[in-house]
Structure 1
Amino acid sequence: MRDDGVLLGLTYVPEQQLVGWHWHDTDGFVESIACIPEGQEDVLYMVVRRNINGVQKRYIERMESRQITSIEDAFFVDCGLTYDGRNTDAAKTFTLSGGTNWQFPEVVTMTAVGHTPFTAGSVGVDYSLKRQVIDENGDPATEIVRVEVVGYTSPSVVTVKLLIICPVSLRGVAVSAWARQVKTLSGLGHLEGKTVSILADGSVHPQRVVTGGSVELQEAAGIAHVGLQYISDMETLDLELKNANETVLDKKISVTGLTVRVEESRGIFAGKDKKNLYEHKTDRDDYESPIELLTGQADIPISNNWQGKGRVFIRQSDPLPLTVLAVIPEVTIGGR
């Protein structure tokens, strides 16, 4: 921690004699820190002074774990909160029945077993139901259906409108993997007036300004993380290639492509500098499920010129994880 409120970090790998400093930016001033063992991790707590809606406030904040089990649980915002409407009791299930074509906007019956969650006020509430299946390639996959309550019958029975096509695996089957979805996220008064980043059901949501302690989502979500954005940047050093004892530091270098090896990452932007960034694009067939994290190689074509010395700039500005293991540039070397 520096005197100007910037939080410092140190990467230390003794077996490789590696020591590297970095700093953590936040919309505030870090006044105090403490590291406390919790289970298998050492957790950092901080006292952070922030200017909220023109008023100076101090918050005790805890740095979130970096161990991610699913993209929906990726928490990469500062001073944030989480809404989690997922069911955690396997005995509490929902079953959809009575469908004909099982397509939007057909109305079907949803029956609860092991709980009585419905009231007359449940009309208008959205739910998502999921089930793990094996796809045609023999790989595990998740099938999803989203529904909106349109009629109340009893505390355990409602009628719902299908918001998307209901997969066969979710028809007439008791499902315990469900979530109550919301469109308005409240309880955010500690960030009043701030522009916040949002990860909703594992997908990046457009930023919102907190007004009256709440934000409105484009679509209802079952799990959402909301907080202050922070931007993570890295830049390589000038490229040096030795060939037959000849250096390239005095030659013109152009980087025309880039391979970034990553672990459990998404939202990768790269380029010759922060003003010329290109996103790693990911193909997807299923727009209901979030894009999975990538472990492997991300190939990014970038635009460069002969003015630099082979440096590469990588940025993460979304509330998503990015762990860079290696940077492999595609280089063209010219004359002096």
Structure 2
Amino acid sequence: MNRVKTAMLIAGMTALFMGVGFLIGGGRGMTIAFVIAAVMNLFSYWNADKMVLRMHHAHEVDARTAPEYYGIVQELAARAGLPMPRVFVIENDQPNAFATGRNPENAAVAATTGLLRQLTPEEVAGVMAHELAHVQNRDTLIMTITATLAGAISMLGNFAFFFGGHRDNNNPLGIVGVLVAMIVAPFAAMIVQMAISRTREYSADRRGAEICGNPLWLASALAKIAGAAGRTVNYDAERNPATAHMFIINPLNGQRMDGLFSTHPDTQNRIDALSAMASEMGALAAPRAPSVRSGPWGGQSGGSRRSPGGPWG
């Protein structure tokens, strides 16, 4: 089913890209846009994950450089029956995370240093389980390709004035077409991002809670991330807003409502759904956070020590 959704997404985004090309340059513009879209689709399939990681200045870590973080991802991947993804860290104070990659065999997960510092190991486990759920659901290809094509469509709309205002460009609508391209193209790309993100997040929340074993870990993490994200500017995300839908919480400031113009469902709605799931599972209280441990991005103070048998207890 996800392969069908991916094919439909690519077809829809390509048609949108061609439509913008038509508004800017008529038949010739549409043909050029089709060629560009075809090349971009092929390139995105193989390389979009690397582009997204590079946009956010992510660097890869392993069991030696980030033992606790890497160990959490390793155990969660084993629980989910997934191949071990590549693990990345983003030097950013805003707590957040995302997953990328064209399939589970070529997946990567990334967390910010803000997330690793501010959350307990249990909460980090909840977040990374959510990201692995995206990998298992094969959402990551859709997310990554959408980010690439939506960014390209927005850029095409922004450049419309430079290429659409001349008399010899065969633009059938003249300056009206240019204005439509500038306004509608980024808006339409944003709508596609929203539609995908909002349904996808609830599904990943539920599957992530199943993977980590306690929905309240993720619920607690979402509350902390949402509160901190609104106070901390993620400059890389602001420069690349087409990637916002990939993060577990919207990294852009000022978008708080659970309506048409939000790239993510309302955080409280997600927390409520996880709390209801916890009640169904009998997980009535979140475990206490472990005490501080040595090593990069160790846990926070204020709880019992980690019990044996796993990275977080």
* TM score, norm. by length of structure 1: 0.26
Give the number of the structure whose residues are more often helix, by fraction: 2
* Larger strand proportion of the pair: 1
Structure with larger Rg: 1
Q: Flag the structure with more relative contact order, 1 or 2, with Cα contacts below 8 A and sequence separation at least 6.
A: 2
